[in-house]
Structure 1
Amino acid sequence: MRVIAGSHKHRRLLGPPDAETTRPITDRVKQALFDRLTALGLLGDTLEQPFGPTLDLFAGTGSLGIEALSRGSTHCTFVEADRRIQSILRDNLEQLGLADRATIVHGSALLPLWIQNLPDTPVALVFLDPPYKLMDDPDAVERLLSLMAQLAPRLEPGGIINLRTPKQTPTPPEVDGLDGPVSLDYGSMTLHLYQTPLDDENDA
């Protein structure tokens, strides 16, 4: 794994110890995702142009959140429950000199007590990358949708939540406070993009 673009372009990232622990997004799909985020106006026209805070939930070793930091996100909060993986995430941040722009939260993203400890600054981008097996559990899916609804008011106008699921997963439903989803298939996975309405849409 590597950083695709920005201030840490081409820097290598430590990955998980095996394919069963986490399922990192491929470089190809990560590039396609960030191209889409740029097209939606979330990221600046030039790499490293500052934009608001990011949340990387079910963060794994931090590939998506670190990519956002490299491209100009002011801060990223990583939420990860596995302490072994969390240690690799911390090493990645320290090796890239990004620890001062990151917060690591130990715990399940589906137990969102951590939300009350977020800074007041509106969030620009959320990566929601639950283990694929969670998408087979109706109760877990309901909790996931509830989490997205709780995060919606925390997003800036035009802010985006990206939910990654297996391709065979039914398209998730709409979420109060968010437009979408727009679903994009890449190989065996699907990215579902939700976006908060822009200010001019709210004023219409």
Structure 2
Amino acid sequence: MRIIAGRHRGRVLRSPDGEATRPTADRVRQALFDMLWHAAWGGRTAVHDQLVLDAFAGTGALGLEALSRGADHCTFIERDRAALNVLRANIGACKEEARTAVLAADATKPPPARVPCGLVFLDPPYGKGLVPLALDGLAAAGWIAPGALVVAETGEGETLDLPGYEMLATRSHGAATVHVLRAPGGGGN
């Protein structure tokens, strides 16, 4: 697993041993960031200069990719101890300590946000219905800016019914389905 593009292009990222963490594959991240950059609802500002939240962060691949591509700051939320150790090592390898914060927390019951984020990544374990729970918790804690882009990865065949969120795109990549939504409010980009 590596960073695909930007200032950290080619940087190899570690991942923890075992099955507890399932990093987003390089080809899925490439397709996702291409979509964010080139879709009519996306563009350069979808990532560049954004405050990013990477919830269920695991290795941090999504947030670190966003930083590599010009995001201002990324907050990572992860609760698994092994994943947290690898996440911190990956941040250090990219020398991104100054533009990141790591919270050892449950993304469905996060601590209050200091500032809401305009780009939110959710990559929870598949098949557990965690995306709606996390969105409710993150919104209540102030993590999601009005009109933010939310990228949620689910298992193949999982559907999302999220009242108030506008579904912008859904793409299947093998066992993964990537959903891009716009949070309520803000009117979009």
What range describes the TM-score normalised by the shorter chain of this pair? 0.7 to 0.9
Aligned residues: CA RMSD: 2.6
Taking a change above 3 Å as real, the CA distance of residues 52 and 127 of structure 1, as seen in their structure-2 partners, is: same
Give 2:104's aligned residue: 106
Distance in 2, matches of 1:143 and 1:129, equals 13
- Aligned partner letter, 1:124: G
Give 1:36's aligned residue: 35
Give 1:154's aligned residue: 144
Instruction: Tell me if 1:172 matches 2:160.
Output: yes
Q: Equivalent residue of 1:86, what SS?
A: helix
Taking a change above 3 Å as real, the CA distance of residues 134 and 10 of structure 1, as seen in their structure-2 partners, is: same
Structure 2 spans left out of the alignment, 5+ residues: none
Give 1:126's aligned residue: 120
Instruction: Tell me if 1:143 matches 2:95.
Output: no
How many pairs were matched up? 187
Taking a change above 3 Å as real, the CA distance of residues 67 and 134 of structure 1, as seen in their structure-2 partners, is: same
- Aligned partner letter, 2:6: G
Taking a change above 3 Å as real, the CA distance of residues 150 and 58 of structure 1, as seen in their structure-2 partners, is: same
Give 1:189's aligned residue: 176
Contact (CA 8 Å) 1:152, 1:196: kept in 2 or not?
no
The TM-score, its normalising length taken from structure 2, stands at: 0.87
Structure 1 spans left out of the alignment, 5+ residues: none
Q: Which moved more, 1:7-16 or 1:181-190?
A: 181-190
Taking a change above 3 Å as real, the CA distance of residues 4 and 133 of structure 1, as seen in their structure-2 partners, is: same
Name the structure with the higher helix share.
1
Give 2:17's aligned residue: 17
Matches within 5 A, 1:37-116: 37-40=36-39, 42-44=42-44, 50-112=48-110, 114=111, 116=112
- Aligned partner letter, 1:13: L
Give 1:2's aligned residue: 2
**Aligned-residue offset at 1:175:** 2.9
Deviations 1:138-169 (A, max 9, x none): xx565235236547883254x21011111121
The TM-score, its normalising length taken from structure 1, stands at: 0.81
Distance in 1, matches of 2:95 and 2:5, equals 16
Contact (CA 8 Å) 1:75, 1:102: kept in 2 or not?
yes
Distance in 1, matches of 2:186 and 2:105, equals 33
Contact (CA 8 Å) 2:117, 2:143: kept in 1 or not?
no
- Aligned partner letter, 1:17: D
Distance in 1, matches of 2:167 and 2:150, equals 10
